[in-house]
Structure 1
Amino acid sequence: MIALPPWAEWATAGLLVFASVLALIGALGLLRLKDFFQRMHPPALASTLGSWCVALASILYFSALAEAPVVHAWLIPILLAITMPVTTLLLARAALFRKRMAGDGVPGEISSREHTHGN
Structure 2
Amino acid sequence: MSDIPAWIAIPAAIFLVAGGLITLIGSIGLLRFEDFKSRIHAPTLGNTFGAMFTLLASILVSFHLADRVFFHEILIVVFLFLTSPVTAMLLMRSYILRLERIGK
Of structures 1 and 2, the larger Rg is shown by: 1
**Structure 1 residues 14-33: aligned runs within 5 Å:** 14-33=14-33
- Measured in 2, the distance between the counterparts of 1:28 and 1:36 equals 14
> 5+ residue gaps in structure 2?
none
- Larger helix fraction of residues: 2
SS in 1 for 2:38: helix
Once the two structures are aligned, what percentage of the paired residues are identical?
A: 40
**Structure 1 residues 1-119: aligned runs within 5 Å:** 1-66=1-66, 68-72=67-71, 73-103=73-103, 105=104
- Measured in 1, the distance between the counterparts of 2:102 and 2:77 equals 37
RMSD over aligned CA atoms reads 1.4
Query: Residue 85 of structure 1: CA displacement?
Result: 2.0
- Measured in 2, the distance between the counterparts of 1:58 and 1:89 equals 29
- Measured in 2, the distance between the counterparts of 1:99 and 1:74 equals 38
Query: Residue 55 of structure 1: CA displacement?
Result: 1.5
Aligned residues: 103
Query: Residue 71 of structure 1: CA displacement?
Result: 4.1
Query: Residue 7 of structure 1: CA displacement?
Result: 2.3
- Measured in 1, the distance between the counterparts of 2:61 and 2:8 equals 6
SS in 2 for 1:101: helix
> 5+ residue gaps in structure 1?
106-119
- Measured in 2, the distance between the counterparts of 1:48 and 1:17 equals 15
CA deviation vs aligned residue, 1:67-114 (integer Å, no higher than 9, x gap)? x231411111111111122211111111122222333x2xxxxxxxxx
Q: Which aligned runs of 4 or more in structure 1 are off by greater than 4 angstroms?
A: none
- Measured in 2, the distance between the counterparts of 1:92 and 1:14 equals 33
- Measured in 1, the distance between the counterparts of 2:23 and 2:56 equals 16
Q: Report the TM-score, using the length of structure 1 for normalisation.
A: 0.78
Query: Residue 53 of structure 1: CA displacement?
Result: 0.6
